[in-house]
Amino acid sequence: MTGFDLPLEGLVVLDFSRVLAGPFATALLADAGADIIKVEGSAGDDYRHVGPFVGDDSAMFEFANRGKRSIVLDLKAEADRITARRLAAQADVVVENFRPGVASRLGIAYADLVGENPDLVYLSISGFGQNGVGRDRPAYDIIVQAESGLMAMTGMPDGPPTLVGEAIGDIGAGLYGAWAVTAALWQRERTGRGCHIDLAMFDALLSLLPTGACRYLATGAVPMRVGNRHPLSAPFGAYRTMDGHAVIAVLNEKLFADFAATIGQPELASDPRYRSDSLRSDNEPSLRVYVERWTGARPTGEVVRVLAAAGIPVAPISTVAQAIDSELARERGLFRQGSTVPLPEQPAHFSGSRRGRPVRAPRLGEHTHDILARLAAQEEQQ
């Protein structure tokens, strides 16, 4: 218990997952106060061995496993499998992201555990689902980025498909995983029944492509790469400035009229080529000429200052370092102290709950003795 009255305090989660998608889901639950018991083999989660490192500690492991407790169990050994099932019998939630079929072979699948714990919420994250044509395929983030259509939509029109610069397939599955667990817990609160959640990374990422999916489903047009602009709106993208680029986002007619007046071209608002968002998108190349004639004559700072003063959504393109070090990130309390590096705080602010508690990822097996002692005490009380 954290003592900070977090929303999920008292919830016990047994976490068999590793690398990123599953651990990120349980990290979000830990941020909200859940007690996460992370089960690792003797070599530890693969992410313990992936850089960047601070001393001997992986920053990626710290990110994905903040606020958890670690127990070492060899799930190929019968005695440790029995211990895992005993822990599952006392848990509210179990999370795993083995390839489909592995949990069954280890004796820790939903079907193996639900008899002892009928109200268990059990989350399985895989690349392509627990059943069907993709069931046995291994998956990493780049695989689901490729198969979801995201890579085909990303990049410059005359360039190759481009990988998004973050593990969005893993992160999206982790987000949906944490959401699905909390939804299932509310269902259990109403019905008294737990459930098995089958979550595929492919499904999660494809469901996060509303612009592309809606365009195809509504029109039959196959969305492809349009570069640093919105595929359906204009001016809505990155525009050249004297010393770099600025992002400008104009979506409705009033904003466009204000924007046109601000850049000294008020007649653009009545130009038949630009009278609606869809027309502006169709005629984006000619509109870009007018926009960059103005932005290209000014440094980014001036472009941002002038447009912001006129109420136009605008931003410079920041590096990750600039975003992390920004006044906004500090004001929002987005990071707190970890054992080796600052670690993110989940982004939602709950009234009545404090933010910013120091947190760290566990050492391998750090809590094995304590977890087993508590388990024995719980079983003795039953």
Enzyme catalytic residues: 230
**Do residues 87 and 112 lie in contact, with contact meaning Cβ atoms separated by under 8 Å?**
no
Contact between 170 and 178 under an 8 Å Cβ cutoff? The reply is no
CA distance 201 to 196: 16
143 and 127 in contact (C-beta within 8 Å)? yes
User: Which residue type does 326 have?
Assistant: S
Do 228 and 154 contact (CB within 8 A), yes or no?
no
Supply the DSSP string of 219-268, one letter for each residue.
H--------SB-SS-SSEEEEE-SSSEEEEE--SHHHHHHHHHHTT-GGG
Q: What are the angstrom distances between the C-alpha of 81 and each of 44, 275, 371? A: 17, 66, 15
Q: What angle do CA 340, 341, 347 make, to 5 degrees?
A: 135
Structural contact between residues 108 and 16, judged by C-beta atoms closer than 8 angstroms: yes
Contact 363, 70 (CB under 8 A): yes
- Are 108 and 183 within 8 A, CB to CB? no
> What φ, ψ does residue 15 adopt, rounded to 5°?
-115, 105
* Residue the block writes with tokens 């592309």: 212
Q: Where are the beta strands (DSSP E) in the chain?
A: 12-15, 35-40, 53-54, 57-58, 69-72, 93-96, 121-126, 195-200, 236-240, 245-249, 314-316, 335-337, 342-344
The token pair at 165 is 């610069």
d(CA 63, CA 58): 9
